[in-house]
Structure formats: structure tokens, C-alpha cells
A and B are shown apart, each in its own frame.
Chain A
Amino acid sequence: MSFPWAKNYEPQQPLMKWLDEKLPLPRLVYNAIGAGYPVPRNLNYFWNFGVLAGAALVIQIITGVILAMHYAANAGVAFNSVEHIMRDVNSGWFIRYAHMNGASMFFIVVYLHIFRGLYYGSYKAPREMVWLLGVVIFLLMMATAFMGYVLPWGQMSFWGAQVITGFFSAIPVVGEPIRVWLLGGFAPDNAALNRFFSLHYLLPFVIAGVIILHIWALHIPGSNNPTGIEVKDEQDTVPFHPYYTAKDGFGLGIFLIVFAALTFFTPNLLGHADNYIPANPLSTPAHIVPEWYFWPFYAILRAFTFNFLWIDAKLWGVIAMFAAIALLFFLPWLDSSPVKSSTYRPLYKKFFWVLVADVLLLGLCGMKPAEQPWVILSQIGSIYYFAHFLIILPIVSRIERPLPMPNSITEAVLAKHADDKSAATA
């Protein structure tokens, strides 16, 4: 995006001038994340999570490519190849644990990034495309994570694959043939493992491509900010470099501290003990659970226990689980309020926090066995989830009276510092 006052890239050295003529990559970087990209000056720490998500992807790709040098994707040896990495490969234990916990860090950061978007209305015009691409990235991440979890070929790997691929058989008529075609067999076996390895290696690069589109789409209107008021003037912005490169550097330090604490001190905290048992198709685990980042969707899946309207409960569950993600695509059109930020939307803000509590509740239910009281709690939680997006938001955005808003970002910043005795420096 070029705001008219954006700084211009002016190479001084002969080499840089030559490069700028032949392949202007430095200019691209300067305009995208350098001093040539003006950004609102009032971004808070919730704006760090996009960069952290990118960092998490880079970490996953680097650790993943190295793991792939030592891993064997054959059902007879996969489990032992992972243990070979843990025991014999130099620093293999670190690379494996970093990759395993890096996936969790990636999802933590992305969920915070998504909830930032929900709170501050980042999905609204003119940034609908950024949001749509983001939901695509989220779907790709879930597919990648699921396939990655299958690769160690532990009990949860196998039975998780069995459950997820079983969804396809819920589709009437064509479901079972599709399932067998996808798996390459009647149950997860060597064919499924090999193709999951291939796709697990591929999809992160697809994610990287969609991220480029996501950032490109963002840079057309420029970043949102906590007030939701669009940039009007040069004094509303600061150049991305050095202001936000510095802030993101600090954010990266904190991210890496959390990542290191997890990886080095409690690497199996977020995992499941059963995945240290080699896969056994003849022995079903007592409780099949996916990784924590799938728990809310798992709860929604298992909440539907009644055959309603000629669609049986299993199919309802599958449809609802996919719908729970698919409805995110429609969010910019479900929520029609022209006011972006929850700071000025008191009614929406209340429902936002109920949604946060609801998603945490669904996550807890997804972790628990399919028994009471977790079944009824998932059912109530799922009712609120669908009601929030499909019924409450359209109504709230129509009837809500927003709070009075400042005229510009700078006005909001100065109002915040109104009790400062020092002269305001714009």
C-alpha cells in the first residue's frame, strides 16, 4: 500500500542500484515491511501475532525438513525411525520436540491472531479478502497438523486417522468409496501413511504461498488498528521499520521463551501418552482424542446425538463440524456494523467475551470422554457457537448503538495521553 507520504526506496550504492534495475527485491522488502510501509502508530501487542505465526511456520519448515532426512514413512518402521531420531540422531531429540511443540505454538499464536481479528473487526471492509485468505490458511494448517500427527504411527496417530477419515463414510452413497480412495485401502495403513507424508511435506509451502497473498491483500488498504478508524493522515502512522520491527523483535523474544520452556522442560505436556505406543489396529484406545487445537471442533462433532430430519446424528456431527469453520468465511457479511472495533461496540463486546468462554468450554468438552456432563455441556456450547455467528451477530450489528468515536487515530492517541504534562509530539 502506498499512502502518499510513504518513504521511497532510494538505493545509494552501485550494486544496490544495479539490483533495483534488474530484480527489485530490496525495493519489494522496503515497501512491504521496511521503512516504506506506513502502519498505524497505535497498534497494541495483539498485532504481534501475525509475525509470530510467520515465525512459527518458518520454524516448522526448518525442523520438519531436517526430520524428513531421518524419518521413514513406512508403517513397519515409522515409529522406530522417530525413536531413532530421538536417541541416535545428533540433537534429534531437540528437532523432534521443537517440531512437535512448534505445531502447538503455531496454533496458540494463530488462535490469538484470529480472536484479535474478531475483537477489532479486522475482517470488515476493506479487509474482507485478508480474512478469507486467513480462513484458508487456518484450514490448511488443520489438514497439515492432522497429517503430521499420523506420521509417528503411534496409537493416537492410527486411531485419530481412523476417526477423521471415517467422517467421509458419513456422506450418503459416495462417502465410503471416497474414504477408501483417499486412504488407498480399507483402513489407515502403509498407503495412507505414505500419502500423508507427501502431503504433509507439501502443504506448508502452499500455506506459505497463501500467506504471501494474505499479506499482499493486507497491504492494499494497510493494517487495521485498535480504534478501527482508518488512517487519514501522516501523523496517524509510523514507518514499519524501525518501529514495528523493534516491537516484533521483542515479541519474538517472548514467543521463543514460551516455546523454549515448553520444548525443553515439558515437551510432552500437550501430547497424549498413547502415542508412545506403536499403532495396533486390533487394540482400540480407551479414549480417542485429537490434539488440543482440535478439541472445540471435536466437541461440536460429538454434540449431535439425535437423528434429526432424515439425517443421522453422525452426519449432523460431521456437517456441523465443517460448518463451524465454514461460517467464518461469511463473517464479513454476517456482521454488518460499520464500526470495526469492540472498543466502541459495547453490546458486541459482551457477546465476544461470551464466545471466548464458549470456545474454551467446548475445548474442555473435546478433551473429556463422551459422557455426562460433558455431552450436555458440548450441546449447550455448540448451540451458543452457531447462535453467536448466525443469529446474534446479524441482529446485534443492526440494533447496536456504538459509542462516540474520535475523528482520527491521532486524536485517540492524544486523548489517551491528555493528562501528560509534556508537550505532545506528533
Chain B
Amino acid sequence: MVRPLGFLVGLGFIAALVLAIFTTPLKNEPNVAYSFVKHPKHLKLASDGVAPHWDVAQLQRGMQVYREVCSACHSLNLVAFRNIEDLGYTEGQVKTFAKSFQVPSVNPDTGEPATRDGLPSDYFPAPYANEVAARAANNNAVPPDLSLITKAREGGKDYIYSLLTGYQTPPANLPKELQPGAGLHFNPYFPNLNLAMAKPLADGQVTYADGTTASVDQMAKDVTAFLVWTAEPKLVTRVWAGWAVLGFLVIFSILTYLSYRNIWADKKH
């Protein structure tokens, strides 16, 4: 019973599939844009690889770039001021840093919206009150929150670094329909080629406290390193914990293997 019925069911599916094969066109719709998109450039960071550490000086510079350039449009909702102790600041420096921000609050007498000095427990304040305000100020595009951006994009930190340094004039052979429209800017690292964000970095835009030259490339590297940290502050802890666990497990496996061989020594199998 099962076999003849199964046979017929199988033939039914195969017939539907054979017809599907013969009626589906073999050529894809041409995707011209795809040939202009570039793979991200590789960025080497101290937090890469199997023996990572946080380059605290770089993270501090990166945070300076975020604050002075990016925070005008991009929020950093998941990072609290207390978290920047990871960047080598003391508790006192964190308090001072937090105080330099105004965070949303309520007037205790009238109940009207107000602002107050930041505390370490507060999060980085967002530049816009809501999505409507964000769109109104940015040609109907919403600048994404940057807390997780290096984990939220294919290509990760390489993509972010390439995007920031990738703004250029469109190539001569770019078809008319792919030219950047009003309010859009060409960047071959962006999957859709033209994005609403204008080139955010210019040479010398930021004056680094430690005297490093603030070229576009340097600022892009630093802010990308910072964003790798914001996406996963526990990254370095994670990798080193991994080595400890792996070391234990290798020893454990050797011991269990030797037990196994010992127990089976008398039995052919």
C-alpha cells in the first residue's frame, strides 16, 4: 500500500518539478549595478584574530571622532557612559565625561521636558527626538544606530571602514539610471551604489588629543575600531576565555581517550 502510493506521490512531485524546470527562464534579469559594487578592503585591528587586545588609545580617538562627527546624526543607544571605563578612563574621568552631555529629563517643578547633566548610568543621548525628526533632517532617510553596526552589516568592520573611505566620483561608464540622484552620493562599497549619507570625513576635521594626524583614513580606522568595541565590548574577554576552555577540553579529551583505550584493551571490536 505504502509503496505504490509513495510511487505515485513521487511521480507527482517530479512532474511538477520537470514542468517547473522547463518553464523557468535560465537567464537572470540583468543586474548591472552588481558589477560596480566592490568588495570591502580588509582592515587589520588590534582586536582581530586569536590573540586580541583593545588598542585603548585608538578606541579613545575613535570615540572622539564619533562624538565630534557622527553623533550629529547617529545615535549610540546601547552604550552607557559607564561603559567607557573599558577605554582606559578612571571613574572620575567617566563622571566628567558624562557631565559634558545633556540628557533628556523632566523639569521637577513644571513637568515640562527639560535636560540635565549626564550621569555615568545614562546612555549616549540620541541626536533626534524620534524617527520623524531624523527623516526630516536627512532627506527621508534614517541614520541607523551605530551600537551594533559592525555586526549588522555583511563584511562587518571591513565594510564600515571601506564605506567611510570609499566616497569617489562615479566612474565614466556608470549607466544613467545608476547615477546618484538628488541628495544621494556614489560609493561603490554600498550594495545599492548610491546612499543618502554624504562623505562624513575630511582631512584634519578632528584634532586628536594625542597628536596623531587626523587623515580621513586614520579617522575611519579609529572610528571603526571604536564601533567594533561598541558592538561587542566583551570580544577580547570572549577570545581569551575561549583559549582557557579549549585548553581544558583538550586535556579532558586526552584523558578520556586514554581511559577509553584502557577499558577496551581486552576486547576486539
**Chain A residues near B (Cβ < 8 Å):** 41-43, 80, 83, 86-87, 93-94, 97, 238, 242-243, 246-247, 249-250, 252-254, 256-257, 260-261, 263-265, 267-268, 273-274, 276-277, 286, 303-306, 308-309, 313, 316, 320, 323, 327, 330, 333-334, 336, 371-373, 375-376, 379-380, 382-383, 386-387, 389-391, 394, 413-414, 416-417, 420, 424-426
Query: A286-B191, A394-B7 are known contacts. Are A379 and B252 too (CB-CB below 8 A)?
Result: no
Residues of A within 8 A of B176 (CB): none
Is A273 a contact partner of B17 (Cβ separation < 8 A)? no
Is B148 a contact partner of A83 (Cβ separation < 8 A)? yes
Instruction: Name the distance in Å between A234's Cβ and chain B's nearest Cβ.
Output: 13
Q: How far is the CA of A371 from the CA of B16 in the complex (A)?
A: 19
List the 6 shortest-distance A-B pairs measured between CB atoms, nearest first: A264-B242, A390-B10, A253-B253, A276-B152, A306-B20, A250-B256
Instruction: Name the distance in Å between A323's Cβ and chain B's nearest Cβ.
Output: 7
Partner of B259 from A97, A246, A286 at Cβ < 8 Å? A246
Is A265 a contact partner of B50 (Cβ separation < 8 A)? yes
Is B156 a contact partner of A273 (Cβ separation < 8 A)? yes
Q: How far is the CA of A389 from the CA of B191 in the complex (A)?
A: 42
Is A333 a contact partner of B16 (Cβ separation < 8 A)? no
Interface class of chain A by DSSP: helix
Q: Is B112 an interface residue (CB 8 A)?
A: no
**Chain B residues near A (Cβ < 8 Å):** 2-3, 6-7, 9-11, 13-21, 23-28, 50, 78, 83, 144, 147-148, 151-154, 156, 191, 231-234, 237-239, 241-243, 245-246, 249-250, 252-253, 256-257, 259-260, 263-264, 266-269
Q: How far is the CA of A383 from the CA of B19 in the complex (A)?
A: 11
Query: A246-B263, A306-B23 are known contacts. Are A323 and B6 too (CB-CB below 8 A)?
Result: no
Q: How far is the CA of A30 from the CA of B6 in the complex (A)?
A: 42
Residues of A within 8 A of B153 (CB): 273
Partner of A376 from B21, B147, B152, B239 at Cβ < 8 Å? B21
Residues of A within 8 A of B263 (CB): 242-243, 246
Partner of B241 from A94, A261, A277, A389 at Cβ < 8 Å? A94
Q: How far is the CA of A413 from the CA of B268 in the complex (A)?
A: 7
Cβ-closest chain B residue relative to A274? B152
Query: A246-B264, A372-B27 are known contacts. Are A93 and B234 too (CB-CB below 8 A)?
Result: yes
Cβ-closest chain B residue relative to A280? B142
Query: Could you list 24 A-B pairs, sorted by A, with CB under 8 Å?
Result: A87-B234, A93-B237, A243-B264, A246-B256, A246-B263, A249-B259, A256-B249, A257-B250, A257-B253, A264-B239, A267-B238, A303-B17, A304-B16, A306-B24, A323-B13, A327-B9, A372-B28, A383-B13, A383-B17, A383-B18, A386-B13, A389-B10, A413-B269, A426-B268
Is B252 a contact partner of A253 (Cβ separation < 8 A)? yes
Is B246 a contact partner of A276 (Cβ separation < 8 A)? no
Q: How far is the CA of A268 from the CA of B10 in the complex (A)?
A: 38
Query: A41-B269, A273-B154, A308-B15 are known contacts. Are A264 and B20 too (CB-CB below 8 A)?
Result: no
Q: How far is the CA of A389 from the CA of B10 in the complex (A)?
A: 8
Residues of B within 8 A of A306 (CB): 16, 19-20, 23-24
Cβ-closest chain B residue relative to A382? B17
Instruction: Name the distance in Å between A327's Cβ and chain B's nearest Cβ.
Output: 7
Q: How far is the CA of A417 from the CA of B252 in the complex (A)?
A: 30
Identify 9 new A-B residue pairs, CB closer than 8 A, beyond the known A303-B20, A391-B11: A249-B260, A252-B256, A313-B20, A333-B2, A376-B21, A376-B24, A387-B14, A390-B7, A416-B268
Most buried by B among A43, A243, A247, A420: A247
Q: How far is the CA of A97 from the CA of B151 in the complex (A)?
A: 14
Instruction: Name the distance in Å between A365's Cβ and chain B's nearest Cβ.
Output: 13
Is B246 a contact partner of A257 (Cβ separation < 8 A)? yes
Instruction: Name the distance in Å between A364's Cβ and chain B's nearest Cβ.
Output: 17
Q: How far is the CA of A86 from the CA of B21 in the complex (A)?
A: 46
Is A253 a contact partner of B259 (Cβ separation < 8 A)? no
Is B24 a contact partner of A414 (Cβ separation < 8 A)? no
Cβ-closest chain A residue relative to B257? A250
Residues of B within 8 A of A414 (CB): 268
Is A254 a contact partner of B253 (Cβ separation < 8 A)? yes
Query: A87-B234, A394-B7 are known contacts. Are A250 and B260 too (CB-CB below 8 A)?
Result: yes
Is B2 a contact partner of A260 (Cβ separation < 8 A)? no
Partner of A276 from B2, B14, B148, B256 at Cβ < 8 Å? B148
Cβ-closest chain A residue relative to B145? A278
Is B156 a contact partner of A387 (Cβ separation < 8 A)? no
Instruction: Name the distance in Å between A87's Cβ and chain B's nearest Cβ.
Output: 6
Q: How far is the CA of A43 from the CA of B13 in the complex (A)?
A: 38
Residues of B within 8 A of A253 (CB): 249, 252-253, 256-257
Instruction: Name the distance in Å between B31's Cβ and chain A's nearest Cβ.
Output: 9
Q: How far is the CA of A277 from the CA of B77 in the complex (A)?
A: 13
Residues of A within 8 A of B233 (CB): 87
